[in-house]
Structure 1
Amino acid sequence: IARTLDMPMNRIRVTATIVGGNFGGKNEITLEPILALLAKKTGRPVKGVFTREDEFISSTTRHPFVMDYTTGVTNDGIIVARKVRIVCDGGAYCSWSETTLGKGAILSVGPYNIDNIKVEASAVYTTKTTTGAMRGFGAPQVCFAYESHMDDIARELGIEPLEIRLKNAFHEGSDSPTGQVLESVVVKESLEIAAEKFGWQEGKGKTNSNKRRGQGIACMWYPIGFTVLANSSAAVVKINEDGTATVLTGTVETGQGSLTVLGQIAAEELGIAADDIKVVSADTDTTPMDTGAIASRTTYVTGNAILLAAKKAKMILFDTAAPMLGVKPEQLEARDRKIQVKNFPQKALSIGDVALQAQFVNGQPALGSASFNPHTVAMDPETGQGKPFGTYVYATQIAEVDVDEETGEVEVLRIVAAHDCGTPINPALVEGQVEGGISMGVGLALYEEMLFDDNGKQINPNLTNYIMPTSLDMPEVEVHIVDSYDPTGPFGAKGVGEPTSVPTAACIMNAIYDAVGVRITSLPATAEKVLKAIQERDQAQPKQIAS
């Protein structure tokens, strides 16, 4: 906006309201510079509103991928080599294509130990709607491919789908395709938990008239933060004289509950209640810099910045309280709204009294500021080796479906999800994220599709012909949080936002194959597409002549 108006940045103020429904859609600048220019020229507030058709055509959509997989595997199911080729439809402009393609390429081999890997990835311009940031940044696309491929390999070798995944899955200390040594790896644990809770392989092959039932499994891995690029967050924590605290952060609440989680992180470090924390966010005049609510980075990156700032503010309290209590600062702890001597809680002062002493007697307010940026190493342009992300999360989802062989209609009956997020700062919010991610994954799998004419013009830019799942289409969802701890995260936390939708389409497609024996290789798996595949299956089968 400052560049558009040719004004200094300190003359521009942006305040973000609490909004929902981001999922990548708020990561593009669309109307903002235009509205700012109109407001400057007219001297009046200006509001811009997209119609539904405008929203479809002028905003961005998920990148379509065309993927080809070739895998070398031993007879007992050990993967020794994998070659992947990806072509990404970038739409009319590049936008986030490079980022999406880079992340997709890194993740494309799956969460598996494979010694020999070759990935070729290209983005192309087309005349279609611009593709951009959308929940998962390429991960749901490649997961759909590599997990469908894993089931096909297992079936060819006569190995159970769960078994082949457990044989090849990452473990603690595994090397990623870029040579990064992986920590807090729990993909095997997620597979085992999901299988146990689901009752994997129990009740397979059930039929109900023309419907056939199937089960499908898919696991995934997903990074936290930007690919290599710096994506720092800064924070300020101020402890008030009444024992409450104020947190300043530039991040934006987009419905995921991040401000609640960030407040909890500060409260835990300061030894006060979450209700004692006020979080002030997303005001360029008052809050410090934040890279944004993107890339599932808020809990991990912004949370670490707040944790560091809270530690600094707390140390001022310790330095103030130590002589008052006749001990050294390192002998103190903050707990239950008090600064107390470790292992001697009777010797304590209220945090409010200490903050008052620090500010008005010592002349040093209990104020801490800090920033955090994940440690990454640039990838070698020749070999692709490097450390593109600070940490990763892992998950498994298992779906049960009914497929009507006469109509091709697919009904998802239930999904069991086992997700790793490191330490769950707020388990209820984690479960909500998983349930919401699965609903988006169901849409990707079975319903949502942009249709274009020969000139690249979208022909269904409305919610009448662009079909989305409703609450009535949602299966029964059972969420399990995998026990995990990342030493680089705030209190061991990582993230959960985007990865929750990554394996959903893949496990549904594998369940469809398990039910009716047809492999759907393009999404969504509409009833028409499934029925056509069933008919082609029947035509390919030799017909028996009645005696």
Structure 2
Amino acid sequence: MSAPAGTPVGLSQGSHTRGGVGESTLRPDGTLKVTGEFAYASDLWHEDMLWGCTLRSPHAHAEIRSIDVSEALAQPGVHAVLTYDDLPCEVRHYGLEIQDTPALAQGRVRYHGEPVALVAADHPETARRAAAKIRVDYAELPVVTDEASATAEDAPLLHPGREDHHAGHVPHPNIVHRQPIIRGDVAAARERADVIVTGEYEVGMQDQAFLGPESGLAVPAEDGGVDLYIATQWLHSDLRQIAPVLGLPEEKVRMTLSGVGGAFGGREDLSMQIHACLLALRTGRPVKMVYNRFESFFGHVHRHPAKLHYEHGATRDGKITHMACRIVLDGGAYASSSPAVVGNASSLSAGPYVIDNVDIEAIALYTNNPPCGAMRGFGAVQACFAYEAQMDRLAAELDMDPVEFRQLNAMSQGAVMPTGQEVDAPAPVAELLRRVKAMPMPPEKQWEAAGEAVDVRELPGGLSNTTHGEGVVRGVGYAVGIKNVGFSEGFDDYSTARVRLEVVGGEPVAVVHTAMAEVGQGGITVHAQIARTELGVARVIIDPADTRVGSAGSTSASRQTYVTGGAVKHTCEAVREKVLELGRARFGTYHPAWATAELLLEGGKVVTDGGEVLADLAEVLQDEAVDIEREWRHRPTVAFDRHTGQGDGHVQYSFAAHRAVVEVDTELGMVKVIELACAQDVGKAVNPLSVAGQIQGGTTQGLGLALMEEIVVDPETAKVRNPSFTDYLIPTILDTPSIPVDVLELADEHAPYGLRGVGEAPTLSSTPAVVAAIRQATGLALNRVPVRPEHLTGT
């Protein structure tokens, strides 16, 4: 049975320690970041370092006939030029799940911007000029850009001759992965339906658009290894991929996390990690690489663009009878995390609704478009846009209120997912919808009121001064989404923490060491809160993340507070027991409470459950530090059946609902989002201030997908048209609306402190809520995001 709302499951030790779990503690890196003093990876420096540069392909698909590096090598200041033939060992490919990505292009290039050669020089401009002098003879090949061209009988194969563990259940070599989910009897349910709606939907390719570009510094070591300082999301995954290509054992590739300027999934894959290390080992000098903004658009994966076909049926009283859908995700030239994205898209494609009869298929393609992989929401974003549009269409067909229709079909605890997995924790979908609908509406504006001065910043078009209220129509839309938390489908999802408790200057201090990548989510704050709570000490030091400690997994999938937070909690508990063991050995014979009472650590002291102080921690520890490293795993998952999609594939589910209020200039096609209210269940708000920030940040990223963010790829050449922030637009402060947040805390008894992952769920439902509001204002179907002005004006 789950705990009641607000109950912090497992919160028993040190609960009164200031700055512990449940308090809004400030981030230690916050002031440094807002004042510009924080050291990001691009600020790294070594006194004798060289600069690395990458030569990238100008074509999306071409044979490499020859590469001439002689002119580049002859340029003064150049220390090395490397191509595929210079790689040091037989292992020359890497990849998150499938090792299909060459460290440098081998024989052909498969996407616009693929790395072909590397240069190391004593100045970044020298390196760039030398790279421009490398002569590559290309013979262009036909491009594969969509499902039709990828699966045609005469389609060129993106990876001919390569076998992988997905090949047995995909119908074509240009399909990376396929996941069907079959449950119930859709054909019979279709006969019972009083209304059936179908829809074709499309989601554009979104970029993570993190503000700190890819950067790192590789330093060769005396033992023949290399020390890499890098901005990444997953140190140990990087290590697993880097070491074999370098021909080094993992212990000789030492990695330390450098300051990360945002990630959102874009740093899960390698960028220049291998390249910087290759150049450093070749030259014997430290090598720094920093992408400029243009190169960054080519240097990391993006969100999968998707085409989705949906069918829903319902009875006249509003109960959904069935759902059938087909989701096609464009994975681009290399696999990256496409198989996992397919698993998420398919297993979450029905949304947070009870639907007993489903027929689902999701696939990911190999194409010559830019590689796609992890981005906040990871497959669930694309599905949510489609199924929420379907919910509005069904409600309209049945002449029902769209919120009430959703509530009628909403899942709750005990519901069964299309995969057959029971939702065994609170699933307050109907309540979240009720809460978000009940929030006060923003006031209506009377734009034409006599004598009223119009602030153009509050109008569609903003400071472009395109309208003063003429033709402006308000719309309101709702959406709700479901997102899994943590890695799924049998992945060994664990984390490691090392905790040291010692006395420094007479005061107990806890030192927490993990390999968690702090990418802006506030994990370092959470770890300190957990240590204060479990060990009852005021002072907590967070050691830099590196590979000297065991893996913490990726900072993605909303998993770090759950999994690495769980590891810190688990290790702190072991440290606490060791401290009490030492105390009993030293003082137990003098005080019976040591043996009979429930002992706690609180405020640097050992106390009984009745509050009696038995000893200072400094007395217990004396000169002896307690230092423990432990792994922690959540409950296991299983892989989905390759034919039916059945299986307990996910650890935990999170839910968020949004109400969007927009104003649309119907003549010019301009949209102003006035408000994006959100209600979300977080299980336990470990740091309420950070929780609100995560919800507001995810909401804003979903707004960007709804209205402006898309990497535009030429359908004929597969070349990227807009690799800059001049042409790729992201929401600014002037685009970001008021985002009131209603946080619900229904504890998940399976999770540390009852918490849920927070960061991704609001990214799902904010996009369809904005588009639903625009539909209500305009009466247009709007089956594609981002919505552009021409979609609203017909021009």
TM-score (norm 2): 0.64
For 1:79, the equivalent position in structure 2 comes to 320
Question: Structure 1 residues 288-297 or 506-515, which shifts more?
Answer: 288-297
Residue of structure 2 aligned with 1:461, choices 698, 719, 723: 723
Tell whether 2:545 aligns with 1:279.
Answer: no
Moved over 4 A (4+): 202-208
- Over 3 Å counting, the alpha-carbon distance change for 1:19 and 1:155 in structure 2 is same
Residue of structure 2 aligned with 1:214, choices 454, 475, 495: 475
- Over 3 Å counting, the alpha-carbon distance change for 1:95 and 1:224 in structure 2 is same
For 2:638, the equivalent position in structure 1 comes to 377
Q: Shift of residue 409 of structure 1?
A: 0.9
Per the alignment, in what secondary structure is the counterpart of residue 577 of structure 2? helix
Tell whether 2:620 aligns with 1:354.
Answer: yes
Listed as ranges, the matches of 1:157-236 within 5 Å are 157-182=398-423, 183-199=425-441, 209-228=470-489, 229-236=491-498
Q: Shift of residue 451 of structure 1?
A: 1.6
Structure 1's unaligned 5+ residue stretches are 360-364, 536-547
Q: Given residue 634 of structure 2, which amino acid in structure 1 is its aligned partner?
A: P
Tell whether 2:261 aligns with 1:20.
Answer: yes
Residue of structure 1 aligned with 2:689, choices 411, 428, 444: 428
Contact 1:205-1:214 within 8 A present in 2 as well: no
Could you list the per-position Cα deviations for residues 284-316 of structure 1 after superposition, in whole angstroms to 9, with x for gaps in the alignment?
A: 13x222112121110001111111101111011
Tell whether 2:778 aligns with 1:516.
Answer: yes
Contact 1:232-1:373 within 8 A present in 2 as well: yes
The structure with the larger Rg is 2
For 2:703, the equivalent position in structure 1 comes to 442
Distance 1:194 1:380 in 2: 37
For 1:59, the equivalent position in structure 2 comes to 300
- Over 3 Å counting, the alpha-carbon distance change for 1:96 and 1:313 in structure 2 is same
Contact 2:266-2:301 within 8 A present in 1 as well: yes
Contact 1:91-1:125 within 8 A present in 2 as well: yes
RMSD: 1.9
Per the alignment, in what secondary structure is the counterpart of residue 502 of structure 1? helix
Q: Given residue 214 of structure 1, which amino acid in structure 2 is its aligned partner?
A: G
Tell whether 2:303 aligns with 1:42.
Answer: no
Q: Shift of residue 379 of structure 1?
A: 2.2
TM-score (norm 1): 0.92
Residue of structure 1 aligned with 2:626, choices 356, 366, 369: 366
Could you list the per-position Cα deviations for residues 18-59 of structure 1 after superposition, in whole angstroms to 9, with x for gaps in the alignment?
A: 312100111111211111011011111111122322211232
Distance 1:235 1:251 in 2: 9
For 1:336, the equivalent position in structure 2 comes to 603
For 1:480, the equivalent position in structure 2 comes to 742
Tell whether 2:372 aligns with 1:131.
Answer: yes
Q: Given residue 110 of structure 1, which amino acid in structure 2 is its aligned partner?
A: G
Distance 2:386 2:651 in 1: 25
For 1:261, the equivalent position in structure 2 comes to 526
Contact 1:251-1:281 within 8 A present in 2 as well: no
Contact 2:605-2:613 within 8 A present in 1 as well: no
Contact 2:495-2:553 within 8 A present in 1 as well: yes
For 2:350, the equivalent position in structure 1 comes to 109
Contact 1:60-1:132 within 8 A present in 2 as well: yes
Distance 1:109 1:58 in 2: 33
- Over 3 Å counting, the alpha-carbon distance change for 1:189 and 1:272 in structure 2 is farther
Contact 2:488-2:638 within 8 A present in 1 as well: no
Contact 2:657-2:762 within 8 A present in 1 as well: no
Tell whether 2:592 aligns with 1:326.
Answer: yes
For 1:498, the equivalent position in structure 2 comes to 760
Distance 1:330 1:293 in 2: 40
Distance 2:330 2:772 in 1: 25
Contact 1:312-1:369 within 8 A present in 2 as well: no
Q: Shift of residue 381 of structure 1?
A: 2.4
Distance 1:253 1:52 in 2: 22
What count of residue pairs does the alignment treat as equivalent? 522
Distance 1:11 1:418 in 2: 48
For 1:150, the equivalent position in structure 2 comes to 391
Structure 2's unaligned 5+ residue stretches are 1-241, 449-468
Per the alignment, in what secondary structure is the counterpart of residue 342 of structure 2? helix
For 1:248, the equivalent position in structure 2 comes to 513
For 1:386, the equivalent position in structure 2 comes to 647
For 1:539, the equivalent position in structure 2 comes to none
Contact 1:233-1:372 within 8 A present in 2 as well: yes
Residue of structure 2 aligned with 1:120, choices 343, 361, 368: 361
Could you list the per-position Cα deviations for residues 427-480 of structure 1 after superposition, in whole angstroms to 9, with x for gaps in the alignment?
A: 101111111112211110000122222110011111112122211111111112
Distance 1:490 1:30 in 2: 34
Contact 1:204-1:214 within 8 A present in 2 as well: no
Q: Whose helix proportion is higher, 1 or 2?
A: 1
Q: Shift of residue 203 of structure 1?
A: 7.0
Distance 2:762 2:254 in 1: 34
Distance 1:354 1:399 in 2: 56
For 2:243, the equivalent position in structure 1 comes to 2
Distance 2:786 2:306 in 1: 13
Question: Structure 1 residues 189-198 or 323-332, which shifts more?
Answer: 323-332
Contact 1:395-1:417 within 8 A present in 2 as well: yes
Tell whether 2:637 aligns with 1:396.
Answer: no
Per the alignment, in what secondary structure is the counterpart of residue 195 of structure 1? helix
Per the alignment, in what secondary structure is the counterpart of residue 146 of structure 1? helix
- Over 3 Å counting, the alpha-carbon distance change for 1:485 and 1:472 in structure 2 is same
Per the alignment, in what secondary structure is the counterpart of residue 287 of structure 2? coil
Contact 1:248-1:288 within 8 A present in 2 as well: no
- Over 3 Å counting, the alpha-carbon distance change for 1:204 and 1:118 in structure 2 is farther
Contact 2:495-2:633 within 8 A present in 1 as well: yes
Q: Given residue 374 of structure 1, which amino acid in structure 2 is its aligned partner?
A: H
